[in-house]
Structure 1
Amino acid sequence: MNTHVVIPARLASSRLPEKLLLRVDERSVLQHTHDAAQRAEGISGVTVAVDDPRLAQEVDGFGGRALMTSVDCQSGTDRIAEVAATMPEVDVFVNVQGDEPEIDPAAIELVSRLLVEHPEADMATVATPIRDPALWEDPNCVKVVMDAGGRALYFSRAAVPFVRDGGPPADFAAEPPMFWQHVGLYAYRRDFLLWFAAQPPAALEQLEKLEQLRALAAGRRIVVGRIDTVARGIDTLEDFEDFCQRFEN
Structure 2
Amino acid sequence: MRKVIIIPARYGSTRFPGKPLVYIEGKPMIQHVYERALSSGIKEVWVATDDERILQEVSRFGGKALMTANTHICGTDRIAEASDILGLAPEDIVINLQGDQPFFPAAYFQPLIEPLVSKKAKMTTLATPIKQDEDLTNPNKVKVVLDLQGYALYFSRNLIPYFRPPGEPPLYLKHIGVYAYTKEFLDLFVKLPPGTLELTEKLEQLRALEHGYKIAVSIVSEEVPEIDTPEDLEKLKKIRGL
Structures share a fold, TM > 0.5?
A: yes
Verify the 8 A CA contact 1:84 1:194 in the aligned structure 2.
no
> Aligned residue for 2:154?
154
Cα deviation code 1:105-161 (max 9, x no counterpart): 111222112211111x21000101124454223322211111121011111112211
- Note the residue ranges of structure 1 that are not aligned, 5 or more in a row: none
CA 1:70–1:134: 2 relative to 1, 3 Å: same
| Distance of 1:243 and 1:210 partners within structure 2 | 24
| Distance of 1:156 and 1:95 partners within structure 2 | 20
> Aligned residue for 1:104?
105
> Aligned residue for 1:92?
93
> Aligned residue for 1:4?
4
Within a 5 Å distance, the mapping from 1:1-249 to structure 2 comes to 1-41=1-41, 43-86=42-85, 87-89=87-89, 91-119=92-120, 121-163=121-163, 165-167=164-166, 170-171=168-169, 177=171, 179-245=172-238
The CA deviation at 1:14 is: 2.2
| Deviation larger for 143-152 or 127-136 | 127-136
The CA deviation at 1:190 is: 0.4
CA 1:124–1:25: 2 relative to 1, 3 Å: same
Amino acid corresponding to residue 53 of structure 1 in structure 2: E
- Note the residue ranges of structure 2 that are not aligned, 5 or more in a row: none
| Distance of 2:19 and 2:29 partners within structure 1 | 7
| Distance of 2:125 and 2:228 partners within structure 1 | 21
Instruction: Count matched residues.
Output: 240
| Distance of 1:237 and 1:141 partners within structure 2 | 17
| Distance of 1:198 and 1:156 partners within structure 2 | 23
Cα deviation code 1:213-238 (max 9, x no counterpart): 11111111110000111121112223
Verify the 8 A CA contact 1:85 1:194 in the aligned structure 2.
no
Moved over 3 A (4+): 131-134, 241-249
Verify the 8 A CA contact 1:39 1:105 in the aligned structure 2.
yes
Secondary structure of the equivalent of 2:190?
helix
CA 1:58–1:69: 2 relative to 1, 3 Å: same
| Distance of 1:95 and 1:58 partners within structure 2 | 20
| Distance of 1:7 and 1:166 partners within structure 2 | 43
Percent identity between the two aligned chains = 41
Amino acid corresponding to residue 13 of structure 2 in structure 1: S
The CA deviation at 1:35 is: 0.5
Query: What TM-score results when the alignment is normalised by the length of structure 2?
Result: 0.92
Amino acid corresponding to residue 76 of structure 1 in structure 2: G
| Distance of 1:231 and 1:138 partners within structure 2 | 16
Secondary structure of the equivalent of 1:34?
helix
| Distance of 1:247 and 1:138 partners within structure 2 | 22
Secondary structure of the equivalent of 1:81?
helix
